[in-house]
A = this chain, B = another copy of it.
């Protein structure tokens, strides 16, 4: 029995065994996509979304693009993690300070449980500027009322992902500040109070062939005996397009800005039609995992082609072995 994952058992984790003949360390759900593109009539697509265990089932915050192509966040609930009931109404955040800008457009949420509270981080568009965004942050205790905090950083930033516990006494977040004319790197930041942030550290830059354009942290890091297991997406620019795949690294438990192991090959790249064709072609973009500390099973939710939600599965010990066998760090 694996005890590599440091955390709770999750006996009801959605799960499919590795298909026969498959030798990959991470494998897809054969019934992908698990959530189709039209969750309700006004919606154009649902993808890049985050789920957590909640009560006797699961809750989630979903990126829904409307048929206006406006990007919103919607709540959803599920008994089994596969079949989801997604609200037709977007989340209306309750501001914790007057000076916080009203939510306008937001996308690519991550949800992290710290203590008994759920934190949602997302890419938050400013009212000023046409493409000015940074990391928005809110919390909820019940997935009904969401309380919006100050933005974590100055623009321009995307892909904010919180750690599930305090590091060195502070809240901690990975994010990907960006400048369209530079490769995008992952940084680490800390906050004593979720209002002021600092102790910024560079974590990793694009470093291999499938991720050379930019990278971004994916789901909440998973605490293991080997370090923080982080899935991240990487973008390769081809003769024709950008291609979003995802891979994994293991970060130091106490100084999570130090990469201990870095898996050279990707884990999942767009090779299935629902990943290759859609509103944005060639995208596999993970935003959440579920994991069962008892069995070491990990279920990965990822957006496919910016259109639908798909799932993949792995087992933590096999995965960590694979990462070490293919380690870029000597």
Residues of A within 8 A of B (CB): 23-24, 37, 41-42, 44, 66-71, 99, 126, 128-132, 134, 150-157, 175, 177-183, 185, 187, 189-193, 195-202, 205, 208-210, 236, 238-243, 264-266, 269, 271, 273, 276-283, 306
Contact assessment for B269 and A44 in the assembled complex, using a CB-CB cutoff below 8 Å: yes
B201 touches A198 (CB 8 A): no
A195 and B185 form a contact (CB under 8 A): no
Q: Select from chain B the residue with minimum beta-carbon distance to A263.
A: B68
Integer count of this chain's copies in the complex: 6
B24 touches A150 (CB 8 A): no
What is the CA–CA distance of A154 and B177 in the complex, to the nearest angstrom?
A: 7
Tell me if A69 and B154 are in contact (CB < 8 A). Answer: no
Report chain B residues within 8 Å CB of A202: 126, 128
Do B197 and A198 touch across chains, with their CB atoms under 8 A apart? yes
Give the Cβ gap from A42 to chain B, nearest Cβ, in Å: 7
Instruction: Pick the residue among B69, B181, B185, B240 that contacts A266 (CB under 8 A).
Output: B69
Assess whether A236 is in contact with B69, with CB atoms less than 8 Å apart.
Answer: yes
A189–B179 Cα gap in the complex (Å)? 20
A–B complex contacts, Cβ < 8 Å, 6 sampled: A67-B269, A70-B208, A131-B181, A155-B179, A191-B196, A241-B281
Instruction: Report if A183-B150 is in contact (Cβ < 8 Å); known contacts: A271-B37, A281-B240.
Output: no
Which single member of B37, B180, B243 contacts A180 (CB below 8 Å)?
B180
Q: Which of B37, B67, B238, B271 contacts A280 (CB 8 A)?
A: B238
Are B238 and A306 neighbours in the complex by a CB distance under 8 Å? yes
Which residue of chain B has its CB nearest to the CB of A192?
B196
B151, B240, B276: the one within 8 Å of A282 (CB): B240
Give the distance in Å from the alpha carbon of A271 to the alpha carbon of B265 in the complex: 31
What distance in Å separates the Cβ of A269 from its nearest Cβ neighbour in chain B? Answer: 7
Point out the residue from B70, B126, B153 that lies within 8 Å of A153, measured CB to CB. B153
Shortest A320–chain B CB gap in Å is 17
